[in-house]
Chains A and B, each alone.
Chain A
Amino acid sequence: MLVAKRSISLLLLAASLVSVGCSAMKTAYDGKVARPAAEAAARGFADDGGGMMLGAATKALAPSSSAAPPAATRDRKMIYTARYGLLVPQVEDAVERLLGWVDGAGGYLKERKDGTVICKVPAERFFPLLDRVPELGVVLSEALDAKDVTREMQDLGIRLENARKSRTRLLALLEKATVVEDILKIEKELRRLTEEIERMEGDLRLFEHKVAFSTLTVEFRSNAPAVRTRREASRFAWVRQVGVERVLEDF
């Protein structure tokens, strides 16, 4: 009986540790991913201690000739996010072209609002697509963010595995338990552990999706004048009251 109690206590303690580890993981995930500066520097990134906002690093990550991430990052779990500001003659036409490319790359439109389009693109086709974006118009701004989540995903995987093992042991213990108090304690811990496992599985799936699909945001701005004035406005009042601009204003 004493041995059984010790086993339960040890298992509960182990389960708690798994839980604490998971909480720590969440903090790292919700905030920025921390990496040694030397590691980032070795890869040519300008690490700001959080994500990597790339100025010079953009060139390192998206070389126009190779159209692929650097070799050093290939085996790592990276989350790429690119953002462009483009000046285009016709916003609609540019958006249609971009969405055609995204579709062709196996990606999809995540959000579109006014002139801003957010797309998800399979990571392996992300850089070739980025190389084509300047074809759409004049690039006003560009930024690329690269987050290395290799360690976080590995840690999460280990914690998840440990949690599953703990649950298996708790289940085995539950089979043997005869004292009502012990049964209740084990069941309570099982419930908590199951929730933690589900949460970790969800986090892992989210990581995997973010790694598999990079995010491309493009803000389009039209350089076509809304109104081209070649001659003066009509002298007739009613003519000045009709037209696209007036309908949009007066509705």
Chain B
Amino acid sequence: MIRASARLAFLASFVLTVGCAAPLAPDGFTVVDDGVGHTKAIASDDSMFWVRTFRDDLDGTLTFWHETLVGDFVDHRGYARLEEREIHWGGVPAIEMIFEATARGRTRRYLVTLRIEEGLLANRIHIAEFVADKTVFDDHLDVVREALGGH
């Protein structure tokens, strides 16, 4: 009985969670794929926007995953960290980071926003990513932030 209640509660929290983790595509972007917990959209200049959800069995905190991500991006992949700020994404505390990296011969800017949603059985990690050529990154930045409801 308790298990059944827990499952139902988990299901409800999952539905609520993914419901608010899949925002509309930013203005100027076209959705190429969306579904439960994710949205994938692209702009005419090849800028990409992707929101995803991962299950977190470790129940890591926002700080833990933030440091893990930065460590991997900077120390393993060689990204340059440009900016970082605490925001609210869908009313929940989140961290927005901006990196610069060279990929496929071009300089890219990469915005990633991290949010942790606590669940009954497991936490959920929400990731919003925006990748654009350095030259057009700023053109889309405001609409991407607006789509995430970050402030």
Contact = CB atoms under 8 A, between A and B. Distances in A.
Interface of B: 32, 40, 42, 48, 50, 52, 54, 56, 68-69, 71-73, 75-79, 99, 101-108, 110, 112, 125, 127, 129, 131, 134-135
B129 A247 contact: yes
A37 to B, nearest CB: 42
A243 B52 CA distance: 12
B42 A251 contact: yes
Nearest to B133: A92
Interface size band for A: 20 to 34
Given A227-B77, A247-B50, A251-B42, A239 B72 contact: yes
Contacts of B69: 239, 242
B40 A90 contact: no
Contacts of A222: 102, 105
13 contacts: A92-B106, A227-B77, A230-B76, A231-B75, A231-B76, A234-B68, A234-B71, A234-B76, A236-B68, A239-B72, A241-B52, A248-B108, A251-B42
Interface of A: 90-92, 114-115, 221-222, 224-234, 236, 238-245, 247-248, 250-251
Contacts of B71: 234
Closest 6 pairs (CB-CB, A-B): A228-B78, A238-B54, A234-B72, A247-B131, A92-B107, A244-B110
Given A92-B135, A251-B40, A221 B76 contact: no
A245 B103 contact: yes
A243 B102 contact: no
